[in-house]
Chain A
Amino acid sequence: MAEKKLLSGNEAIARGAFEAGVTVGTGYPGTPSTEILESLTTYPGIYTEWSVNEKVAFEVAMGAALSGARCLLTMKHVGLNVAADPLFTASYTGIKGGLVLANADDPAMHSSQNEQDNRHYAYAAKVPMLEPSDCQEAKDFTVFAYNLSETYDTPVILRTVTRLSHSLGVVEIEESPSREREIEGFRRNLKKYVMIPGHARARHVVVEERMKRLEKDVNGFSINKMEIADSNIGFITSGIVDTYVREVFPDASVLKLGCVNPLPGEMIREFFGRVKKVSVVEELDPFIELRIRAMGLQVEGKKYYPVTGELTPDLVRKPFQGEAALTVKTAKKGLENRISLPPRPPSLCPGCPHREFFKIARKLGLIVTGDIGCYTLGVLPPYNAMDTCVEMGGSIGHAQGIEIAGGKPEGTGVVAVIGDSTFAHSGITGLLNAAYNGRRSLIVVLDNSTTAMTGMQPNPLSGQRINGEETVRLDYIKLALAFGMNEENVRIVDAYRPKEIEEALTSLLESKRLSLLVVQGLCIILKKRRRKAG
């Protein structure tokens, strides 16, 4: 019996994983992917964890998959850069229990530092990639992905984008899905799981054969759909843009690709045989267009659409407005505003514990290498107190590079700033590098006891796990001492005591030794929530 629910794309993926019998879910929070794992925690019989970073999340999921459990792995697009290493070799080892990576791209960079197109990862790592168009498909494709993963013994990437992850739609769910699956446990298989060169060479051949088999079989997958209506113009679509094409060209022929790697070549050729002119509508890179051109077919796509930002129904319509051979649904004329309005940029919350540090950093004229999190907003007015921001955990390495290069940096000193979750994610290795190589950097952890930017997920500095269970809290001082740092160069101060912060900053900089300053203050949103909960 099917029941209707209103679910977000992310919730629908979690629901699909539950219905598919998943028993392990791992990930690292990152907008817009975060709610997938959070939603998975609400189902019974599933182990979930926030791992310290995406690479570790992948490794944990892979270990469970190699034991025969079905696993869901979640991260945002840039997270896969961190987890790319295990991904490429998991493609060689295979999985045993279904392993699905739900990976969320962020076209238009609503909350990201770049807008990379992760379809390239599927192609490069030689793993299948599915792309749902709406919330119902997000659920259905997830279930499909587990069967695909096990049939072809491969990890499968389920790609979503912000516009799908954070949209809400009606989804038919299985009320009581059968989740019974026997988990065999790990069985030794050296030639498959130990990727020394001799074994890996043989596995690469298996990977290529698997892709060949997939390239043939993908033409029969139910998730690819060809609808022939008008024979003059046809569109090739996938993912969320399919809904825009249907919206603005109600009578057009459409080949909708549920699987974007590998592409269904035979289906594509058939479509070209039935429609005179074919255009690809795709967000970001010309991924599908270039592969169709490589098949020797004439196709248009990026000629009409930008490689930056999100597509919208309006943008999809524009190049085809007035096209005689096509029904184009036009929009009404919008009202006009003649006043120029000030923008409303995001800013640090009133009462945020990070504020004092940024005020002082600017006052002291420090060069601040920055990182990813709420505190990145320290770059905006009124603080203007951050000078670099590239990737999770990057600030600590950047500060070391500035020190090594020498010259005269324009500020009065260089400090690396990083949040608590980010420090655990990949800051610790940067700190170890500084200790090992004898650097004199000053590293500041702005610790608000949570991963605030993505919505208050706990991390190894919070003392809690994903389900609120109490756990170990990393001890900064012991960690620094284990790295061989001097005791007097590790300080923990209160985020609301500006004098202490300033004194610590100046004296640690003057010490000319590797230093760690932890500025601690509970996230103001978390504080309010806890007060409410009593």
Chain B
Amino acid sequence: MGNIFNILMVGVGGQGIIMASDIVSLTAMYGGRDVKKSEIHGMSQRGGSVFSHIRIGEKVHSPLIAAGEADILFSLEEMETLRWIGYANEKSIIICMKTRINPAMVEEYPAGIEEEIKRASPKACFIDPEPLRKEIGNAKFLNVALIGLLSGFVDFNEDCWEKAIREKVPEDTFEGNWNAFHTGKKLYREAFE
């Protein structure tokens, strides 16, 4: 991991971006790093575009990632991946869940989104949520499964992840979430190793 590692998480209000980014930030802290996270919530929770900046390093100043500086762009929705793609550069890892949510008042999802993401970043990785959802058995654990995938790209030991997930998810869902995390980790090994 370089000097500062930047993760931008994006999606739509209600998808669970904030909880997912909390887990990653806590893990970084338990891993002994400095970490800052910045997000906007409030009105945007009503179905708007949601983003969360996470910066990890020895000493982090700004809680904001500069355009072009995200090491990972982690997105839960296709159109939102493209909306925030200016934060990624050609070396960035882009993880995009293949979910499409129409904005209010938009009847038809715009065409060519996936192609444009692939053009901008040929190595962007698309995750089909359906098989993953089936494997983990509960749609509510999907974000934690994706965090399992993300964990392949950042160097923290499993104890830190476990402690963070335990702290953030409802107590009675920990087992399910922890299994989902491992399913995501397996997905990382299959796709990237």
State whether these chains interact: yes
- Complex Cα spacing A453 to B43, Å: 7
In the complex, chain B residues whose CB is within 8 Å of the CB of A162? 40
- Bound CA–CA A166/B104 (angstroms): 26
Interface residues of B in 86-106 (CB under 8 A from A): 86-92, 103-106
Q: Which of A111, A135, A312, A349 contacts B66 (CB 8 A)?
A: A312
**CA–CA, A317 to B40, complex, Å?**
22
Interface residues of B (CB under 8 A from A): 12-13, 22, 25-26, 29, 34-49, 60-64, 66-69, 79-80, 82-83, 85-92, 103-106, 110, 112-113, 116, 119-121
Is the beta-carbon distance between B29 and A314 smaller than 8 angstroms? no
Is A92 part of the contact surface with B, judged by Cβ < 8 Å? no
Given contacts A337-B82, A346-B47, A347-B47, contact A166 B41 (CB under 8 A): yes
Task: Specify which of A162, A338, A339 lies most central, judged by the most chain B CB atoms within 10 Å of its CB.
Answer: A339
Counting CB contacts under 8 A, is A348 at the interface?
Answer: yes
Tell whether A31 is near chain B: CB-to-CB under 8 Å.
yes
Contacts of B89 in A (CB 8 A): 332-335
B62 touching A247 by the CB < 8 A rule? yes
Measured CB to CB, the closest approach of chain A to B138, in angstroms, equals 15
A334 partner, pick from B22, B38, B48, B85, beta carbons under 8 A:
B85
With both beta carbons as reference points, the residue of chain A lying nearest to B67 in the complex is identified as A334
A167-B36, A346-B13, A454-B42 known; A331 and B103 CB under 8 Å? Answer: no
Between-chain CB contacts (< 8 Å), 12 pairs: A111-B42, A162-B40, A168-B36, A170-B29, A247-B61, A313-B64, A313-B66, A317-B66, A332-B69, A335-B85, A341-B83, A346-B43
Are A312 and B46 within 8 A (Cβ)?
no
Kindly report which residue of chain B lies nearest to residue A108, judged by CB atoms. Answer: B40
Instruction: Tell me, rounded to whole Å, the shortest Cβ–Cβ distance linking B58 to chain A.
Output: 12
Residue of A nearest to B106 (CB): A342
Query: Would you call A4 and B63 a contact (CB within 8 A)?
Result: no
Tell me how far the C-beta of A252 lies from the nearest C-beta in chain B, rounded to whole angstroms. Answer: 12
Interface-lining segment among A67-75, A187-195, A374-382, A482-490:
A374-382
Which A residues are CB-close (under 8 A) to B46? Answer: 346-349, 374, 377
A163 / chain B contacts, CB cutoff of 8 Å? 38, 63-64
Nearest-neighbour CB distance to chain B for A134, whole angstroms, equals 7
Give 12 new A-B contacts, CB below 8 A, not counting A334-B68, A336-B86. A110-B42, A110-B43, A168-B36, A243-B62, A248-B66, A313-B66, A317-B66, A331-B68, A335-B85, A335-B90, A337-B82, A454-B42
A407 CB within 8 Å of chain B: no
> How many A residues face the partner with a CB closer than 8 A?
50
- Which A residues are in CB contact (< 8 Å) with B104? 344-345, 347, 380-381
The residue among B48, B104, B120 with the most chain A CB atoms within 10 A of its own CB is B104
Q: How far apart are the CA atoms of A110 and B83 in the complex, in Å?
A: 18
- Per DSSP, chain B at the interface is mixed
**A170 touching B35, Cβ below 8 Å:** yes
A4-B29, A169-B36, A244-B62 are known contacts. Are A337 and B116 too (CB-CB below 8 A)? yes
What chain B residues lie within 8 Å of A381 (beta carbons)?
A: 104-105
Instruction: Sort A-B residue pairs by CB-CB distance and give the 6 closest, nearest first.
Output: A111-B42, A334-B68, A31-B42, A347-B104, A346-B46, A168-B37
Flag A12-52 by CB within 8 Å of B: 1 or 0 each: 00000000000000000001100000000000000000000
B18: min CB distance to chain A, Å: 10
Chain A residues with CB under 8 A of B121:
335
Q: Tell me the complex Cα distance, A166–B42, Å.
A: 10
CB distance from A421 to the nearest CB of B (A): 15
A131 nearest CB across to chain B (Å): 16
A227-254 CB contacts (< 8 Å) to partner B: 240, 243-244, 246-248
B36, B39, B62, B112 interface centre (most CB from chain A within 10 Å): B62
Whether the pair A337, B48 counts as a contact (CB closer than 8 A) is: no
Q: How far is the CA of A341 from the CA of B15 in the complex (A)?
A: 20
- A343: interface (CB < 8 Å): yes
Interface string of A303-346 (1 = CB under 8 A from B): 00000000011100100000000000001111111110111111
> Closest Cβ of chain B: how far from A16's Cβ, in Å?
18
Per the bound structure, the CA–CA distance linking A342 and B104 in Å amounts to 10
In the complex, what's the smallest C-beta–C-beta distance from A331 to chain B, in angstroms?
4
Determine the residue in chain A with the shortest Cβ distance to B103.
A344
**Hey, which chain B residues are within 8 Å of A169, CB to CB?**
35-37, 60, 63
State whether B83 touches A6 (Cβ < 8 A).
no
A197-B13 Cα distance, complex, nearest whole Å: 53
Q: How far is the CA of A313 from the CA of B63 in the complex (A)?
A: 10
Report whether B29 and A6 are in contact in the complex, using a CB–CB cutoff of 8 Å. Answer: yes
A335/B64 contact (C-beta < 8 A), A169-B35, A346-B43, A346-B47 known: no
B88 touches A334 (CB 8 A): yes
Residues in B neighbouring A31, C-beta threshold 8 A = 41-43
Question: A335-B89, A336-B120 in contact; A341/B110 too (CB < 8 A)?
Answer: yes
